[in-house]
């Protein structure tokens, strides 16, 4: 199978880049499944139903969230009727929505997508390791799911790496989100799980984490209240990770970083060209 995961969409530049380029990438690379983190897609804060529908229509099979899941209050309602929009699985019982779902892809494959949030320097949610364990135990790789993608929305790279090794051999891909900066550690772990500490963002990289530079810099210099942070206005870059799995086991065979757009050195899975 061919999997593509894209990092946090930040505002209109990120949305435009994904919506314009994803249909062509699906055809060019013959992708079986595309998962995108969309928690910053609505002006940098949360996601709306209209934006969710737009991203899915562009070719995403599932959208994951994170600590900004509820910044748009309407998400508390529409997430209940949209099974392909996932919030972190370790939110307390009774939280609207779901944190994992077995997605039937366009190619006929079944992909378990799990969204989990870390606890280091983040909200003190339930144990992320135990939460992911429960999902994988009920939907094991190679038996129920043809592939398993785990989005670890976390601040600390140590927590993300620990999750990667903890799930090594049980998931196709463990990928970090949240920090908006793509890391250079994409690889296949010893047990066959593809891993990357952070997929980066889909947004304007001539910015501070996707937001306009001026207000972000002023906050560091003055430490006083100011205007609302707004997404950058430049052209967006899409950033993420591409994975090819073994159809027999669901484990990763090859992996490549994806960076398409200005400001970063471009990269893509040349083994698919």
Active site residues: 68
151 HSE (CA, 13 A, CB side) = 37
Q: For residue 158, what is the enclosing H or E element? A: helix 157-166
Q: How far is CA 204 from CA 18, 88, 251, in A?
A: 12, 25, 33
Please name which of 22, 40, 39 lies closest in space to residue 31, comparing C-alpha atoms: 22
Give me 33's structure tokens: 């499944």
β-strands 238-245, 2-6 pairing: antiparallel
Q: Is 107 helix (H, G, I), strand (E, B) or coil?
A: coil
40-63: b (≥16 Cβ within 10 Å) or e: bbbbbbbbbbebbebbbebbbbbb
Please name which of 163, 175, 167, 168 lies closest in space to residue 199, comparing C-alpha atoms: 175
């Amino acid at each position: 199978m061919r999997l593509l995961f894209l990092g946090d969409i930040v505002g209109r530049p990120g949305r435009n880049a994904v919506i314009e380029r994803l249909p062509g990438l699906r055809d060019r690379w013959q992708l079986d499944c595309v998962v995108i983190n969309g928690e910053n897609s609505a002006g940098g804060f949360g996601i709306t139903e209209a934006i969710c529908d737009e991203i899915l229509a562009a070719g995403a099979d599932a959208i994951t969230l994170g600590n900004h899941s509820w910044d748009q209050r309407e998400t508390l309602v529409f997430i209940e009727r949209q099974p392909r929009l996932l919030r972190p699985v370790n939110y307390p019982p009774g939280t609207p929505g779901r944190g994992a779902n077995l997605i039937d892809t366009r190619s006929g494959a079944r992909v378990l997508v799990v969204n989990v949030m870390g606890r280091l320097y983040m909200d003190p949610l339930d144990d992320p390791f135990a939460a992911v364990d429960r999902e994988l135990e009920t939907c094991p790789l190679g038996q129920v799911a043809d592939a398993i993608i785990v989005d670890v929305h976390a601040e600390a790279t140590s927590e993300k790496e620990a999750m990667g090794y903890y799930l090594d051999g049980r998931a196709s891909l463990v990928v970090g989100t949240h920090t908006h900066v793509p890391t250079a550690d994409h690889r296949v772990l010893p047990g066959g799980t593809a891993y990357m500490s952070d997929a980066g963002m889909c947004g304007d990289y001539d910015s501070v984490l996707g937001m306009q530079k001026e207000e972000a810099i002023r906050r560091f210099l003055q430490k006083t209240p100011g205007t609302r942070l707004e997404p950058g206005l430049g052209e967006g870059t899409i950033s993420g990770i591409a994975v090819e799995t073994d159809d027999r086991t669901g484990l990763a065979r090859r992996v490549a970083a994806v960076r398409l757009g200005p400001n970063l050195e471009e990269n893509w899975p040349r083994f698919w060209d």
